[in-house]
């Protein structure tokens, strides 16, 4: 499998993780519950978790044995666009105030308030992967959801699936 910077990984749920049930509830039958972004060909990730928010230090091997899909933008980006996205990711990661629990609350209860949507200092995994593109002028999907779900990349016409299966 050949990985490229800015590939997006969608990871499927585990049946024994109760918070995965809640995420899947909003997923319209899709099992995706987590997204992360590939940083390089070695599979290093910008990942996100409840404790740290967005962070570095994980590798795609963390998900060995899990059902995943990897998605790549069909239209190749210029080196300048790639640099802009990575700069945005680094800048927002540096200003991070933790995981976006408000977004989860908003998505579970159908609240589409700016208070939850426009906090650029707190992130969940699907917001992070989605807005890394959108904040740099590249609409990543025809997403009619105010709060992107981890499945967004699987249903985008602008991304192709380059791997699907057990890692």
Calpha distance 18→138 (Å, rounded): 34
Any idea which architecture 8-166 has in CATH? Answer: Alpha-Beta Complex (3.90)
pLDDT tens per residue across span 17-66: 655 456 655 556 677 778 899 999 999 999 888 777 888 999 999 999 98
What is the pTM assigned to this prediction?
A: 0.83
Calpha distance 11→32 (Å, rounded): 5
Calpha distance 48→92 (Å, rounded): 13
End-to-end CA distance of the chain: 10
Contacts of residue 10, Cβ cutoff 8 Å, sequence gap at least 6: 32, 34, 35, 68, 69, 70, 71, 150, 151, 153, 154
């Amino acid at each position: 499998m050949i990985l490229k910077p800015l590939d997006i990984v969608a990871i499927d749920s585990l049946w024994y993780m109760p918070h995965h049930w809640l995420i899947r509830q909003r997923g319209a039958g899709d099992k995706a519950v987590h997204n992360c972004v590939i940083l390089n060909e070695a599979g290093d990730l910008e990942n996100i978790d409840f404790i740290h928010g967005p962070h570095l230090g994980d590798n795609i091997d963390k998900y060995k044995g899990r059902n995943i899909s990897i998605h790549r933008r069909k239209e190749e980006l210029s080196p300048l666009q790639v640099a802009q996205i990575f700069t945005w990711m680094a800048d927002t990661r540096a200003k991070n105030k933790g995981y976006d629990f408000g977004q989860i609350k908003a998505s579970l209860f159908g609240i589409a308030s700016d208070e939850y949507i426009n906090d650029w200092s707190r992130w969940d995994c699907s917001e992070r992967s989605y807005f890394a593109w959108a904040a740099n002028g590249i609409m990543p999907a025809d997403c009619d959801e105010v709060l992107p779900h981890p499945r967004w990349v699987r249903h985008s016409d602008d991304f192709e699936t380059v791997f699907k299966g057990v890692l």
